[in-house]
Amino acid sequence: MPHDYAVLASHLVHKGTVISLRRDELAMPGDTTAWRDVVDHPGSVAVVALDDDDAVVVVRQYRHPIGRELDELPAGILDVQGESALLSAQRELAEEAGLAADRWDVLVDVLTSPGMASEASRIFLARGLREVERHVQEHEEAEMTSFRVPIRELVTGVLSGRYENALLIAGVLATDAAFRDGFAGLRPADAPWPARPQS
């Protein structure tokens, strides 16, 4: 029988606008206990927007925790009450890249940092791209730029260390792998997502 890591006590340490920090006391093997800090996160989505020339839409955005810009996939936090992951991904693609897509599939689900955070991210593959009106952005997104990079160039960049964003890496490598069977193994855009945090 696997050990039951029961939560014996839980304390809210900090409640932020997006994330919270709590401290849990867990029952550990050997009749011991230990405290674990957990970052509660509402979850996120990202989009590999693949065009007819096998290029992927990449956005460049300033990220304050690391103090510099990163090349990323269009992405966002699941912070709109009642909005599905698919609708969130569609909204983010329109807002950040000025694009919509005719075909949506689930590419891969990622637990971004399960040793410390509850964040689960669903990465979609979007194809059949078309331009739509891009919304006016604010804060860091006001200076966000978007451009397209051939998928093979992205794979090379991931392996060389050029690209560091976890969702871009997972999305690009999953897309490259999915090419092999003509994307036949992808899940539908509304596939169940057990890892998504409950709001």
- Which residue segments constitute the domains of the chain, with CATH numbers given? 7-40 (no CATH), 44-181 (3.90.79.10)
Strands across the sheet containing 120-131? 75-77, 44-49, 120-131, 99-111, 187-188
Q: Cβ-count burial of 21 within 10 angstroms (0-12 exposed, 13-18 middle, 19+ buried)? A: middle
Strands (E), 55-144: 55-63, 68-72, 75-77, 99-111, 120-131
Distances (CA, A) of 52 to 34, 63, 82, 126, 178: 52, 30, 33, 11, 16
Q: 79-113 pLDDT, tens per residue?
A: 888 899 999 999 999 999 999 999 999 999 999 99
Enter the pTM of the model: 0.91
Q: 12-71 pLDDT, tens per residue?
A: 999 998 889 999 999 999 999 999 999 999 999 999 999 999 999 999 999 888 899 999
Catalytic residues: 141
